[in-house]
Amino acid sequence: MSAPKLTVSRRIRATPYTPKVESLGVSGYSVVNHTILAKGFRKSVEEDYWHLKEHVQLWDVGCQRQVELKGPDAAKLTQLMTPRDLRQATAGQCLYAPLVDGNGLMLNDPIILKLADNHFWLSIADSDILLWAKGLALGMKLNVKITEPDVWPLAVQGPKSDDLMAQVFGPSIRDLKFFQFDYFDFDRHPLLIARSGYSKQGGFEIYLDKPSIGTELWDALWQAGKAFNISPGCPNLIERVEGGLLSYGNEFTMANNLFECGFDEYCQLDNDVEFIGKQALQQIAKRGRERLIRGVIFDGGSCPPCQQPWPLTINEEFVGEISTAIWSPRFQRNVALAMLEKGFWQAGTQVEVSSSDGLIRKGLVTDLPMQDKQIRPLLPAD
């Protein structure tokens, strides 16, 4: 399928930064949470990849919508929604947390921000968790107010993020720890800023709750960023695949349980914390997972975009499927994220990739994130 035009209407929301993104030459959009997400600018994906790894970028991630849970039962409902044990969570903490249904199947994988004991934001991937939370609260008669606040995240990503942010928000922002947030003044307005983001290159996410100053915020970061070779950006597909950053709807869907996604470390089954899907997950844990998300690296020259899953086979037997794939300039191979069937997910397993261009390509299963020291020895010398 070619890349057709996106028709925008009120239903598919722009963000406070959209005029800036447009003026900087956005080349395409996706839609996440009924909101547009830039998918590229003037640089190629490869140029953008190297830039992200060396400098600093400004990303409009307004599509990362917040589901706010506030009120006497907010902590109870938040805990019910995730298998991650939140008892030790403290205000100011960000927690990556899978959300599952009664069968342990994945509904979303937000970052939970604990604002106060009974006040949380779920910074969500692409599904209407607001409706899930509202349905649960109404059905269980919980006393909690559930809303989508008028908050528009803006990400600063890349190794020069600290230098840039210190210029705009002062040097104390350098002390912010990974997956912690705090408040920093901008134009006499306190902004919630977290050290987080959808890349492995370091950076921050600014949760702007006053959209009327979106332009000023963007401009201030852009001006200060000129000294650091700033560029507009967006989640980079090469960097995301190599880094093993998953995307709900792509690598996993409501058809997959938590263990198939490899989210074991965010699931505590051996205590008395109550959450939805606990019994189902205990049963799956007992009998073992049937499949697992892994990396795949494969040759045959630059592959087309993976718009529908590509089968992985060994001697014509189905052993998994690729959900996302792209050429990696670092490995000089294609890199991919894939769901591998039981018995075939060990790193080094040789598979055949049927890409949508009709080629059969030779592939190797890898751990995630993809590590040079694992992959290099597996590659034949060019």
Candidates 46, 71, 96, 136; binder of its own copies (CB under 8 A) is 136
**CA pair distance 98, 116, nearest whole angstrom:** 20
Residue from 250, 268, 356, 374 binding its own copies (CB under 8 A): 250
Task: Give CA separation, 129 vs 28, 146, 179, 368, in Å.
Answer: 26, 10, 22, 27
Among 50, 53, 70, 128, binds its own copies (CB under 8 A): 128
C-beta of residue 245 within 8 angstroms of C-beta of residue 199: yes
Fill in the amino acid letter for 52.
Answer: L
Which residues, 10 to 29, sit near its own copies by CB under 8 A? 10-12, 14, 18, 22, 26-29
Kind of pairing between the strands at 231-233 and 57-60: parallel
Q: How many CB atoms lie within 10 A of CB 201?
A: 20
Binding-residue total with its own copies (CB under 8 A): 56
**CA-closest candidate to residue 298, choices 241, 340, 336:** 336
Distance (Å, rounded) from C-alpha 186 to C-alpha 206? 11
| Contact between residue 124 and residue 64 where contact means Cβ atoms under 8 Å apart | yes
Distance CA 205, CA 157 (A): 8
Q: Which one, 143 or 346, has the nearer CB to its own copies? A: 143
Distance CA 72, CA 50 (A): 47
Residue 8 near its own copies by CB under 8 A: yes
Contact between 72 and its own copies by CB under 8 A: the answer reads no
| Shortest distance (Å) from residue 163 CB to its own copies | 31
Could you say whether residue 275 binds its own copies (CB under 8 A)?
A: no
Which contiguous run of DSSP H or E holds residue 237?
helix 237-243
Closest CA to 84 of 269, 262, 293: 269
| Residues between 140 and 199 with contacts to its own copies, criterion CB under 8 A | 140-141, 148
Choose between 159 and 309: whose C-beta lies nearer to its own copies: 309
Rounded distance between C-alpha atoms, residue 115 and residue 120, angstroms: 5
Give the footprint of its own copies on residues 278-337 (CB under 8 A): 305-309, 323-324
Region binding its own copies by CB under 8 A among candidate stretches 3-11, 66-74, 170-178, 180-188: 3-11
**Does residue 133 belong to the site contacting its own copies (CB under 8 A)?**
yes
Closer Cβ to its own copies, 52 or 107, answer by number: 107
Strand partners, 185: 190
Does 4 help bind its own copies (rule: CB under 8 A)?
A: yes
C-alpha neighbours within 13 Å on the C-beta side of residue 258: 30
Site string for its own copies, 28-67 (x = CB under 8 A): xxxx--x----xx---------------------------
Nearer to its own copies, 126 or 205 (CB): 126
Q: Which is nearer to its own copies, 77 or 94 (CB)?
A: 77
Cβ nearer to its own copies, comparing 101 with 352? 101
Nearer to its own copies, 181 or 248 (CB): 248
Interface with its own copies, residue 5, by CB under 8 A = yes
Identify which of residues 105 and 375 has a Cβ nearer to its own copies in the complex. 105
CA angle 24, 26, 27 (to 5 degrees): 140
| Contact pick of 139, 288, 358, 377 for its own copies (by CB under 8 A) | 139
- What sign does the dihedral 25-27-28-33 (CA atoms) show? negative
Q: Which residues bind its own copies (CB under 8 A)?
A: 1-12, 14, 18, 22, 26-31, 34, 39-40, 101-102, 107, 126-129, 131-141, 148, 247-250, 254, 276, 305-309, 323-324
